[in-house]
Amino acid sequence: MQKLQMLYEGKAKRVYKTDHPECFWVEFKDDATAFNGAKKGTIDNKGVLNTQISAYFFNLLAEKGIPSHFVSLQGDRDMIVKALKILMVEVVVRNIAAGSLSKRVGLPEGTLLDFPIVEFYYKNDSLNDPLINDDHARVLKLATPEQLQLMRQTGLQVNRILLEHLSDKDIYLVDFKLEFGIHNGKFLLGDEISPDTCRFWDKHTGEKLDKDRFRRDLGDVEAAYREIYRRLTGNTFQINEVQGNR
């Protein structure tokens, strides 16, 4: 498959057309941003690690019956995906209080929630991706009621699968963000699932193994992403050996 002109460049990825009308080519970048772009930097090998980690999770979810846009890996930091029309609603599922939830409602970070919380956010950088409810999404015509219900149901399904899987890897799944889109009339999971979009804590020490290390200047950011890759795949990350580990 051939990579053609770039369609879009975001904070973490570039999306290209291909010579196949049904597919896009996604290139993962090492660039890192936080606080809606107010903080910028680079995390060595982040693009490669997030590509491999996302492919791992998309394959896991496909085995459990949850379809996504993922088609195949294409090089170490590139993947072929189905061409989605992205719905402008981000879905966040939370198991443990952290980040904006702690700031918004005063729950101390680390508080175990009685049940998973599902939140919707308006995917709009100029508005700082505000928290919205179902009515906001419907008034703004961001998604239909049926699509919102599917987002909630799928988010909770993904949560159950990942919680069980990651527990065996000694990882707490604190929270995560999902995006969805439409491909030939089908509702599919899109974007990525990685330490950029999830909060992962070590099950025994509570050590943060995700992008919070960058947000909070905790150091060892790349090492945290490498550790997630190691626990998932059982392999120590070596950039020249990723191709051979597939």
Per-residue model confidence (pLDDT) at position 177 = 98
Query: Is residue 233 in some structural domain?
Result: no
Q: Domain range holding 22?
A: 3-83
Tokens of 169: 């890897």
- Contact by Cβ (8 Å): 103, 30: no
Give yes or no for residue 55 having a pLDDT over 70. Answer: yes
Give yes or no for residue 240 having a pLDDT over 70. Answer: no
DSSP 97: -
Same domain, 109 and 190: yes
DSSP codes, 129-147: --EE-HHHHHHTTSS-HHH
* Average pLDDT across the chain, whole number: 95
* 3-class DSSP assignment, residue 215: helix
In sequence order, the β-bridge partners of residue 171 are: 202
Per-residue model confidence (pLDDT) at position 245 = 40
Number of domains in the chain: 2
* 3-class DSSP assignment, residue 17: strand
pTM for this entry: 0.94
Q: pLDDT (tens digit, 9 = 90+) per residue, 166-193?
A: 999 999 999 999 999 999 999 999 999 9
Q: pLDDT (tens digit, 9 = 90+) per residue, 108-134?
A: 999 999 999 999 999 998 999 999 999
Band the pLDDT of 244: cuts 50, 70, 90: very low
Per-residue model confidence (pLDDT) at position 36 = 78
* Angstrom distances, CA of residue 149 to CA of 11, 85, 101, 158, 193: 28, 18, 22, 14, 21
- Contact by Cβ (8 Å): 209, 201: yes
Same domain, 16 and 122: no
Distance CA(55)–CA(161), nearest Å, equals 15
Per-residue model confidence (pLDDT) at position 38 = 85
Residue type, 179: E
Same domain, 39 and 108: no
Mean pLDDT of 206-215: 97
Same domain, 138 and 119: yes
* Angstrom distances, CA of residue 71 to CA of 3, 67, 137, 242: 15, 10, 29, 18
Per-residue model confidence (pLDDT) at position 246 = 38
Per-residue model confidence (pLDDT) at position 242 = 52
Tokens of 17: 């057309």
Q: pLDDT (tens digit, 9 = 90+) per residue, 56-90?
A: 999 999 999 999 999 999 989 999 999 999 999 99
Per-residue model confidence (pLDDT) at position 238 = 81
Band the pLDDT of 35: cuts 50, 70, 90: confident
Give yes or no for residue 1 having a pLDDT over 50. Answer: yes
Same domain, 28 and 96: no
Q: Which of 48, 83, 118 is the last residue of a domain?
A: 83
Same domain, 101 and 26: no
Give yes or no for residue 239 having a pLDDT over 80. Answer: no
